[in-house]
Structure 1
Amino acid sequence: MTALPRPEIVSETFGDPSDPAILLIMGAMASMLWWPEAFCRQLAERGRFVIRYDNRDTGLSTKYKPGKPPYAFEDMVDDAVRVLDDHGLARAHVVGMSMGGMIAQMVALKYPTRVSALTVISSSPLGVDTSGLPGTTKAYKEHSAQGADVDWSNRRQVLDFMVKDARALASTLHPFDSERTRAMIEEDYHRSGGLASASNHFLLKGGGPERRIKDLTAPLLVIHGTADPIFPIEHGEALSKAVPGAGLVRIEGGGHELHRNDWPQIIEAIATHR
């Protein structure tokens, strides 16, 4: 099989390169914009060199034909380390959210010398039996199923569905800002040239050996919303229990998102974890 050319992975940095580095990895279908610029700047103000990047098939990074991704999940793990290489960084505190939390766990397990600390947000543990944990809520499953009827080449359909998706994932404690959310999704859509290729993330295969979070050597912090409809809080609890000494920060009423009202708690937790 012919190897794929190395994809272009576009990244952006905030803060002083001489400060300790933090690499932010976002989840499925999400470009770097889902780590809001203001969030990154506030984290950088805590004395951190912050890097966010577009996963392949999102943003300005390399995209592939929708429906048949010629790469595996393992390749996205390697992408993260290449971003560190591109910035001349030997190590970083790796922070991943949702699918990005899975990628972050795999980065820490595959490349332990490159990860000084690991923070996993709104995700689930690798190599842990989660069959006894509650799954995605019925309400979110019903909403998600509607995605099969979306014409991903139709701008209005995509934007409307993505805003509904963000609402379905939102905090139960804080108000949902529909206007701000739609504006960000519109920016992501136009910057990416559409979101059809991003749906490839749901078709990925592992492509690498099975890894278990219990083998982690880096310090682990878990941040998880108590009202997460995709990975209920029990997933965050199971992840923290799997690694001795791991910390767990519960975001009360938090959904599967980075709600602006929760930033102070989240940023404080990330900035002080090492």
Structure 2
Amino acid sequence: MTAFPVNEISLGIESFGPDDAPLVLLAGGTTMLSWPDALCERLAAAGRRVVRYDLRDSGESTTADPESPSYTLRDLAADAAALAGALGGGPAHLAGIGVGGMVAQVAALDHPGAFSALTLVGTRAVAPGPVDDDLPDHDPATMGRLFARPMPDWADREAVAEFAATGAEILGNDPAAARTTAARIWDRTPGTAPAVQLANQLGIVFARLDCTPRWRARLPGIGVPTLVVHGRRDRFFPVGNGEAIAREIPGARLLVLDEAATTIPAAAVGEVAEAMLTLG
């Protein structure tokens, strides 16, 4: 892993595969560890240069003030385009997961020349806040259970990992995998201040961003091959959100993972990698 300078900040990146291979750029949601190691390795083994990166205020990227971010969603989209250009090799296949999927949509719209293909995983076409009437919102019972839990002691690595595991169980993800990933994120988090930990573990900083203007109406303008991946058991962004994106981007392919929730489970890595590789 290393820090890479773009747009007067640094982004934490990790690379897999040969530097001269076609680039697949994976935007974190919010940290790069949202993308499974096995998926990165599978894509690299198929002849791709895979670079996963942390969004601002997470992981090894520049941390400023997660409680009051001075940047916008469009700035995060510009980061993706600048990173793709700086890494070289021509237009990149851009992939985003969760909130990183929102970044990827705006990046493809605002910087179309930077990207040759788009993969959107477990995301939706509207920013945090009230959802459009035709889109399913977060499952209320699930949200109630998630936010009824007391916050952990952020200075206690094991407590944070256990907090992530119980959250994964509520969301329908693998608790053991979530525990391992949370511990890795904790190890990379610059400090134990609650705001910084929330930005890294839960992505709360994203809810404080300026996400205007709306971009959903612009989705028909995306002109690159697009794959939309969504878990059928996703209670955070229910599958209707992915279905809507796939309808609204011309020619997009929808891949619904019947046994998945908000993350890419180990059993689905091969299917997702194969689908991504068909885009180029």
TM range (shorter): 0.7 to 0.9
**Other-structure match for 2:228:** 222
Give the conservation status (yes or no) of the 8 Å contact 1:170–1:257: no
Q: Aligned partners of 1:150, 1:272: CA distance in 2, in Å?
A: 42
Unaligned runs of 5+ in 1: none
**Other-structure match for 1:57:** 57
1:182 maps to a residue whose letter is: R
Q: Aligned partners of 1:187, 1:244: CA distance in 2, in Å?
A: 38
Q: Deviations over 1:218-239 (max 9, x none)?
A: 1111111111111111111111
Q: 1:7 aligns with which of 9, 15, 34?
A: 9
**Other-structure match for 2:118:** 118
**Other-structure match for 2:251:** 245
Matches within 5 A, 1:26-37: 26-27=28-29, 30-37=30-37
Give the conservation status (yes or no) of the 8 Å contact 2:16–2:40: yes
**Other-structure match for 1:72:** 72
Matches within 5 A, 1:161-176: 161-171=163-173, 176=174
1:98 aligns with 2:104: no
Identity %: 30
Q: Aligned partners of 1:202, 1:53: CA distance in 2, in Å?
A: 20
1:230 maps to a residue whose letter is: F
Cα distance change on mapping 1:87 and 1:244 into 2, 3 Å? closer
- Where 1:8 maps in the other structure, the secondary structure is strand
- Where 1:102 maps in the other structure, the secondary structure is helix
Q: Aligned partners of 1:57, 1:183: CA distance in 2, in Å?
A: 21
- Where 2:220 maps in the other structure, the secondary structure is helix
- Where 2:9 maps in the other structure, the secondary structure is coil
Using the TM superposition, give the Cα deviation of residue 68 of structure 1 relative to its aligned residue in structure 2, in angstroms: 1.4
Q: Aligned partners of 1:216, 1:94: CA distance in 2, in Å?
A: 13
Unaligned runs of 5+ in 2: 1-6
**Other-structure match for 2:151:** 150
1:47 aligns with 2:52: no
Matches within 5 A, 1:262-273: 262-273=268-279
Q: Aligned partners of 1:256, 1:197: CA distance in 2, in Å?
A: 18
**Other-structure match for 2:207:** 202
Using the TM superposition, give the Cα deviation of residue 208 of structure 1 relative to its aligned residue in structure 2, in angstroms: 5.2
Alignment root-mean-square deviation, CA: 2.2
Cα distance change on mapping 1:93 and 1:169 into 2, 3 Å? same
Q: When the two structures are aligned, how many residues end up with a matched partner?
A: 261
Give the conservation status (yes or no) of the 8 Å contact 2:99–2:123: yes
Give the conservation status (yes or no) of the 8 Å contact 2:160–2:183: no
Using the TM superposition, give the Cα deviation of residue 157 of structure 1 relative to its aligned residue in structure 2, in angstroms: 4.8
Q: 1:189 aligns with which of 186, 206, 219?
A: 186
Give the conservation status (yes or no) of the 8 Å contact 1:104–1:118: yes
TM-score for the superposition, normalised by structure 1? 0.87
Displaced runs of 4+ in structure 1, greater than 4 A? 207-211
TM-score for the superposition, normalised by structure 2? 0.85
- Where 1:79 maps in the other structure, the secondary structure is helix
Cα distance change on mapping 1:6 and 1:111 into 2, 3 Å? same
Q: Deviations over 1:180-225 (max 9, x none)?
A: 4312211210111342444322211125574621111111111111
Give the conservation status (yes or no) of the 8 Å contact 1:102–1:125: yes
Q: Aligned partners of 1:247, 1:94: CA distance in 2, in Å?
A: 15
Cα distance change on mapping 1:207 and 1:7 into 2, 3 Å? farther
